[in-house]
Amino acid sequence: MNRNFTTWSRRSAIGALAATTLAPWAARAQGNTLKSVRIGYQKSSTLTAVLRLQGTLDAQLAPLGFKPSWHEFTSGLPLLEALNLGNVDFSADVADTVPVFAQAAGARLTFVAQEAPSPTAQAILVKADSPLRRVAELKGRKIGFAKAAGAHYLLIAALEKAGLSLNDIEPAYLTPADGRAAFERGAIDAWVVWDPFLSAAQRQSGARVLADGQGLASYQRYYLAGTPFAQANPRVLGVLYAALEKTGRWVKLQPREAAALLAPFWGLDAAIVEQANARRSYAVRAVTRERLAEQQRIADAFLAAKLLPRRVDAQQVELFQPEV
């Protein structure tokens, strides 16, 4: 597949921006005829959470005949499974590992946007009083992490650098909530997780970072759409892309305001949210084939670990290319 979805010319971008002033009238005129853009997200989908809380997408999508609806998932893999099945139309950011598993399952997905690397926003954690000091000491230990998440690849890369593999540890596939509970009661020796769960564990229980993604996994997060939806609704994707890009800049420029907005929604202290947000780039950008290079390394690592049913060509995907 080598087709690019090119849309949102300068004229259409200006037109869509101007149309937002007519959104209240448009929504009333259309009554209940607005179609839903079903947006799937995770707790770590910061920019999507901000858009939901601010309510700005309603006004931006109404002129196109759409309205957002919001659907929360525990992690990226079930979210992309839902996207592939057509149960949601658009996926908020998932870790770079997740699309690889979706590709291996034959999913028809379009890459809409990518966040620039945030390697310190995921880490291998141990308790403050743990005797473990080096990744090599994880041999024979029980480690919790979410299957197919960025944390999964970080663990593979960290173990490989230490001369180990997944065969040398006891894996425990756990959602973030279950991972936190297992970590705190000592049912696992280490926990691999991402922000804001990472920052929460550090601040609330004094968890110690054994290793983060620096030099191991750049941790780029992706926004995707089902390809049939992308082909039928490129203008909708243009609105979503522009909104995410703008929101990413706002979160970085207004860290305290963003943290105050997100804290009650996430059920976390604002200080935890601010720390988590400081480690994420939130730099939303277009996906190019050159920027997919690490995707191939991730795919090959999971294939070598016998976790993929077949080899994945990371370049064989659909790309949405917004014009500015």
Quick check: 148 and 176 in contact, CB under 8 A?
no
66-71, Cβ contacts within 8 angstroms, sequence gap of 24 or more: 66/34, 66/35, 66/36, 66/37, 66/233, 66/236, 67/27, 67/34, 67/35, 67/36, 67/37, 68/36, 68/37, 68/39, 69/36, 69/37, 69/38, 69/39, 70/39, 70/41, 71/38, 71/39, 71/40, 71/41
What is the mean predicted confidence (pLDDT) over 44-48? 94
Give the separation between CA 188 and CA 9, rounded to whole angstroms. Answer: 51
Give the orientation angle of helix 176-184 with respect to helix 197-205, to 10 degrees.
20
* Confidence class for position 17, pLDDT limits 50, 70, 90: very low
* Confidence class for position 83, pLDDT limits 50, 70, 90: very high
What is the mean predicted confidence (pLDDT) over 7-31? 39
* Confidence class for position 32, pLDDT limits 50, 70, 90: low
What's the pLDDT tens digit per position in 90-144? 999 999 999 999 999 999 999 999 999 999 999 999 999 999 999 999 999 999 9
* Confidence class for position 68, pLDDT limits 50, 70, 90: very high
| Per-domain boundaries in the chain | 4-117+220-322, 119-212
Percent of the chain whose predicted confidence (pLDDT) is above 90:
85
Q: Is the pLDDT of residue 281 over 90?
A: yes
pLDDT at 76: 87
Minimal CA–CA distance to 117: which of 291, 304, 306?
Answer: 291
Q: Is the pLDDT of residue 9 over 60?
A: no
Q: Is the pLDDT of residue 12 over 80?
A: no
What is the mean predicted confidence (pLDDT) over 14-21? 37
> Count H helices, E strands: the chain?
14, 13
Q: Is the pLDDT of residue 30 over 90?
A: no
Q: Is the pLDDT of residue 301 over 80?
A: yes
pLDDT at 22: 41
Rounded to two decimals, what is the model's pTM? 0.86
Q: Is the pLDDT of residue 311 over 60?
A: yes
Give the orientation angle of helix 234-253 with respect to helix 46-54, to 10 degrees.
100
pLDDT at 140: 98
What is the mean predicted confidence (pLDDT) over 17-25? 41
Percent of the chain whose predicted confidence (pLDDT) is above 70:
90
CATH superfamily of 4-117+220-322: Periplasmic binding protein-like II (3.40.190.10)
Structure tokens at 113: 């946007």
Can you give the length of the chain in residues? 324
3-state class of 75 per DSSP? Answer: coil
* Confidence class for position 324, pLDDT limits 50, 70, 90: low
What's the pLDDT tens digit per position in 144-190? 999 989 999 999 999 999 999 999 999 999 999 999 999 999 999 99
pLDDT at 25: 44
Residue 177 to residues 204, 218, 274, Cα–Cα distance (Å): 14, 24, 20
Q: What is the CATH number of domain 119-212?
A: 3.40.190.10
Quick check: 272 and 207 in contact, CB under 8 A?
no
Q: If you compute the radius of gyration of the chain from its CA atoms, what whole number of angstroms results?
A: 20
Q: What is the mean pLDDT of the chain?
A: 90
Quick check: 23 and 58 in contact, CB under 8 A?
yes
pLDDT at 28: 46
Quick check: 318 and 230 in contact, CB under 8 A?
yes
Domains 4-117+220-322 and 119-212 share a fold: yes
